[in-house]
A and B are shown apart, each in its own frame.
Chain A
Amino acid sequence: QKEVEQDPGPLSVPEGAIVSLNCTYSNSAFQYFMWYRQYSRKGPELLMYTYSSGNKEDGRFTAQVDKSSKYISLFIRDSQPSDSATYLCAMSVTGNKLVFGAGTILRVKS
């Protein structure tokens, strides 16, 4: 069993839809949770960074962490074609070594 599980998709949605991306994990020691966006042939770009449980909002993006269920989510409101990318969840015990999910491919159709 992988430490971090993420559905690879692809997830295809119409422009303007609300997108829900999720990851589950097995290591209860994870404390730091991140979402990265990766465009083709580019490096991962940090979107959201949260510590422990709870919600965090930044513009159209909302990150949720439920440590009791070992489940994290990223919501994208009013999705745009420019949001089409691979979304990677990442987690860490100390904030150093990141353990990534395999990434979910998102396609937003205009």
Chain B
Amino acid sequence: EAGVAQSPRYKIIEKRQSVAFWCNPISGHATLYWYQQILGQGPKLLIQFQNNGVVDDSQLPKDRFSAERLKGVDSTLKIQPAKLEDSAVYLCASSPQGGGGQPQHFGDGTRLSIL
């Protein structure tokens, strides 16, 4: 079974520029999550999708971050404009249906550096 795929692996941009990340979940997984992991910290949930609908985006900085999951499969996360504090690894995870008894499986992330 192929795992969660993310691209690009690394991205370097200047502050105030925009950037987008892409995620392809495990085949058949209805639930998709985006997490932000700042160096030295554990991942923090940004947004959760169930199929193509948003379940939880309470911790997403909506003035600069946006995410979509068209057709309930792939997802993109965008930052516009980027700030220095957005330097982090952005992890995508998926699970079959979400909720209890449904472990989340993570991709290897996109490492974002803001200059």
Q: Flag if B42 contacts A94 (CB, 8 Å).
A: no
* Complexed CA–CA distance, A20 and B106 (Å): 24
The total of interchain contacts (Cβ-Cβ below 8 angstroms) comes to: 60
What is the distance, in angstroms, from B32's C-beta to the closest C-beta of chain A?
Answer: 11
Partner of B91, one of A4, A8, A44, A46: A44
Partner of A44, one of B43, B56, B101: B43
Interface centre among A36, A43, A51, A97 (most CB of B within 10 A): A43
Closest to B109 in A: A43
A54 in contact (CB, < 8 A): no
Sorting the interface of chain A by its residue count into under 10, 10 to 19, 20 to 34 or 35 or more gives 20 to 34
* Complexed CA–CA distance, A12 and B41 (Å): 20
Q: Known contacts A88-B42, A97-B56, A103-B42; is A51 also within 8 Å of B104 by CB?
A: no
Q: Flag if B40 contacts A46 (CB, 8 Å).
A: no
Q: Flag if A46 contacts B4 (CB, 8 Å).
A: no
Q: Flag if A97 contacts B48 (CB, 8 Å).
A: yes
Partner of B42, one of A32, A41, A49, A90: A90
Q: Flag if B111 contacts A41 (CB, 8 Å).
A: yes
The contact string, 1 if C-beta is below 8 Å from chain B, for chain A 27-65, is: 000011010100001111110010100000000000000
Partner of A95, one of B44, B98, B109: B98
* Complexed CA–CA distance, A34 and B41 (Å): 16
Q: Flag if A45 contacts B106 (CB, 8 Å).
A: yes
User: 9 A-B pairs, CB-CB below 8 angstroms?
Assistant: A32-B100, A43-B4, A43-B107, A95-B100, A95-B101, A96-B31, A96-B48, A96-B98, A102-B40
